[in-house]
């Protein structure tokens, strides 16, 4: 693995919003996340055209490189390969893991959404995924119809899967500690980062949750 993808996956996993805060570009927003302590950035865009997404991905990659933080592309393996991103995050309806690994190579970070499904997480681990994500743990405005997941799922996943665990869904600085205590290594956040003051201040509020290593 390269120096970025070799680093332990722990901390704030910041996901880009559909719209940045008023008066701010997406790159400026992400720069705030990075300054506030985000340890991974995921570029998620379900609506822009291909050229816009590629241009934005390249700008975000440059910002992440300056901070030596990995950039993950949501869903789009082709875009990740084209811009040289550090990896891709795959959901249920995205290209299969094996295709993503062939396209991106052995150094790429590949994460898999597992929702509330431990069997899916075990399969991802067996295929060589770098992390698995579970959620939604709390009501989410980004995915209001997501299947609710109890924090205890993280404890059960920890016993069955030897991979970093990412928790997602309605996470705030107030409820995030519950998920860390249950076994999460990273907290993935979208909305909470644009409703808690400046992007930098919001990211810092989450980053502060990660003190000394919690028991594993």
Please give the positions annotated as active site: 44, 113, 143
In 3D space, the residue among 92, 51, 91 whose CA is nearest the CA of residue 73 turns out to be 91
* SS3 assignment, position 113: strand
DSSP state of 124: H
Tell me which residue has tokens 């719209």: 19
Burial of 106 (0-12, 13-18, 19+ CB in 10 A): exposed
* Angle ∠(38,41,46) on CA atoms, nearest 5: 140
Q: What is the C-alpha separation between 16 and 69, in angstroms, rounded?
A: 14
Which alpha helices (DSSP H) does the chain contain, by range?
26-36, 50-67, 77-83, 97-104, 118-127, 152-160, 176-182, 199-207
């Amino acid at each position: 693995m390269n120096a970025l993808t070799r680093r332990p996956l722990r901390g704030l996993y910041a996901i880009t919003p559909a719209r940045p805060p008023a008066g701010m570009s997406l790159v400026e927003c992400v720069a705030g996340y990075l300054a506030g302590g985000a340890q991974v950035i995921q570029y998620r865009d379900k609506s822009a055209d291909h050229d816009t997404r590629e241009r934005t991905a390249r700008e975000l990659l440059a910002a992440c490189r300056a901070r030596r933080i990995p950039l993950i592309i949501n869903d789009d393996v082709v875009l990740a390969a084209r811009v040289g991103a550090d990896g891709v995050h795959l959901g249920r309806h995205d290209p299969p893991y094996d295709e993503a690994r062939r396209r991106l190579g052995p150094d790429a970070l590949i994460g898999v959404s597992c929702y509330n499904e431990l069997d899916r997480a075990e399969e991802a681990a067996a295929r060589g995924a770098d992390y698995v994500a579970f959620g939604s743990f709390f009501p989410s405005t980004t995915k209001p119809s997501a299947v609710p997941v109890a924090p205890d799922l993280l404890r059960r996943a920890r016993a069955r899967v030897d991979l970093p665990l990412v928790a997602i869904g309605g996470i705030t600085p107030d409820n995030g500690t519950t998920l860390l205590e249950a076994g999460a290594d990273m907290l993935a956040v979208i909305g909470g980062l644009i409703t808690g003051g400046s992007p930098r201040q919001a990211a810092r509020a989450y980053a502060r949750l990660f003190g000394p290593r919690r028991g594993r």
